[in-house]
Structure 1
Amino acid sequence: MRSYVCIFLLALVSSVAIAAPAKAPVKQVTLTEEELLGARIFSDPRLSSPQGQSCMSCHHPRAAFSDPRRGLPVSQGATESNFGGRNAPSAMYAQFVPELTLIEEDGEQSYIGGLFWDGRANNLIEQAKGPFLNHLEMGSTKEYVVSQVCSSPTYGDLVKKVFGEKACVKNWTAARVDKVYHLVAKAIASFESTEFFSPFASKFDRVMAKEDTFTEEELRGFQVFQDENKGKCAACHVLDTENAAGKALFTDFTYDNLGIPKNPELKFLGHTAVDVGLAATTGRKEDKGAFRVPTLRNIAFTAPYGHNGYFKTLEQIVDFYNSRDVKPVCKGNLTAEEATAQNCWPRAEVAANKNTEELGNLKMTAQEQKDLIAFLKTLTDGR
Structure 2
Amino acid sequence: VDRPGLRAVPSLRYLQAAPPFTEHFYDSEDEGDESVDNGPTGGLTWDGRADRGQQQARIPLLSPFEMANKDESGVVAALSKAAYAHDFKAAFGDDVFERPDDAFDAAVEALGAFEQSSADFYPYSSRYDAFLAGRATLSAQELRGRVLFEDEAKGNCASCHLSRPSNNGEPPQFTDYGLIAVGVPRNAAIPANADPAYIDLGLCGPLRTDFKGRAEYCGLFKTPTLRNVALRKSFFHNGYFHT
Other-structure match for 2:32: none
- Paired residues in the alignment total 227
| In the alignment, structure 1 residue 186 sits paired with structure 2 residue 115 | no
Cα offset for 1:145? 1.1
Which of 271, 277, 295 is the equivalent residue of 2:202?
277
Find the aligned partners of 1:302 and 1:262 in 2 and give their Cα distance. Answer: 19
For the Cα contact (< 8 Å) 2:38–2:178, is it kept in 1? no
| In the alignment, structure 1 residue 115 sits paired with structure 2 residue 38 | no
Find the aligned partners of 2:189 and 2:176 in 1 and give their Cα distance. Answer: 30
Which of 300, 306, 313 is the equivalent residue of 2:230?
300
Other-structure match for 2:29: none
| In the alignment, structure 1 residue 87 sits paired with structure 2 residue 8 | yes
| In the alignment, structure 1 residue 237 sits paired with structure 2 residue 167 | no
Cα offset for 1:240? 4.7
Other-structure match for 1:197: 121
Find the aligned partners of 1:143 and 1:245 in 2 and give their Cα distance. Answer: 44
Structure 2 unaligned segments of length 5 or more: list them.
Answer: 27-34
For the Cα contact (< 8 Å) 2:201–2:219, is it kept in 1? yes
After superposition, residues 191-270 of structure 1 pair within 5 angstroms as 191-194=114-117, 195-242=119-166, 246-267=170-191
Which structure features the higher share of helix residues?
Answer: 1
For the Cα contact (< 8 Å) 1:226–1:232, is it kept in 2? yes
Find the aligned partners of 2:114 and 2:106 in 1 and give their Cα distance. Answer: 12
Which of 57, 69, 76 is the equivalent residue of 1:146?
76
Identity of aligned residues (%): 34
Find the aligned partners of 1:285 and 1:228 in 2 and give their Cα distance. Answer: 29
Which of 50, 60, 66 is the equivalent residue of 1:131?
60
Which of 262, 268, 289 is the equivalent residue of 2:219?
289
Deviations along 1:116-155, whole A, 9 cap, x unmatched?
Answer: 1001111110010111111222210211211121232x10
- Which residue type is aligned with residue 109 of structure 2? K
Q: 1:243 to 1:95 in 2, by over 3 A?
A: farther
CA RMSD of aligned residues (A): 2.1
Cα offset for 1:250? 0.6
For the Cα contact (< 8 Å) 1:83–1:269, is it kept in 2? no
Cα offset for 1:156? 5.1
Deviations along 1:273-327, whole A, 9 cap, x unmatched?
Answer: 21101122333211111100011100011220010101102xxxxxxxxxxxxxx
Find the aligned partners of 1:253 and 1:243 in 2 and give their Cα distance. Answer: 17
Find the aligned partners of 1:92 and 1:228 in 2 and give their Cα distance. Answer: 27
Find the aligned partners of 1:243 and 1:128 in 2 and give their Cα distance. Answer: 31
- Which residue type is aligned with residue 9 of structure 2? A
TM-score (norm 1): 0.56
Query: Which range moves more in the overlay, 298-307 or 270-279?
Result: 270-279
Structure 1 unaligned segments of length 5 or more: list them.
Answer: 1-77, 170-175, 314-383
SS for the counterpart of 2:89 is helix
Other-structure match for 2:100: 177
Other-structure match for 2:19: 98
Find the aligned partners of 1:86 and 1:218 in 2 and give their Cα distance. Answer: 32
**Regions of 4+ moved over 4 Å:** 104-109, 268-272
For the Cα contact (< 8 Å) 2:186–2:193, is it kept in 1? no
Cα offset for 1:184? 0.5
For the Cα contact (< 8 Å) 1:96–1:244, is it kept in 2? no
Q: 1:184 to 1:98 in 2, by over 3 A?
A: same
Deviations along 1:39-85, whole A, 9 cap, x unmatched?
Answer: xxxxxxxxxxxxxxxxxxxxxxxxxxxxxxxxxxxxxxx1x3x2110
SS for the counterpart of 1:199 is coil
- Which residue type is aligned with residue 217 of structure 1? Q
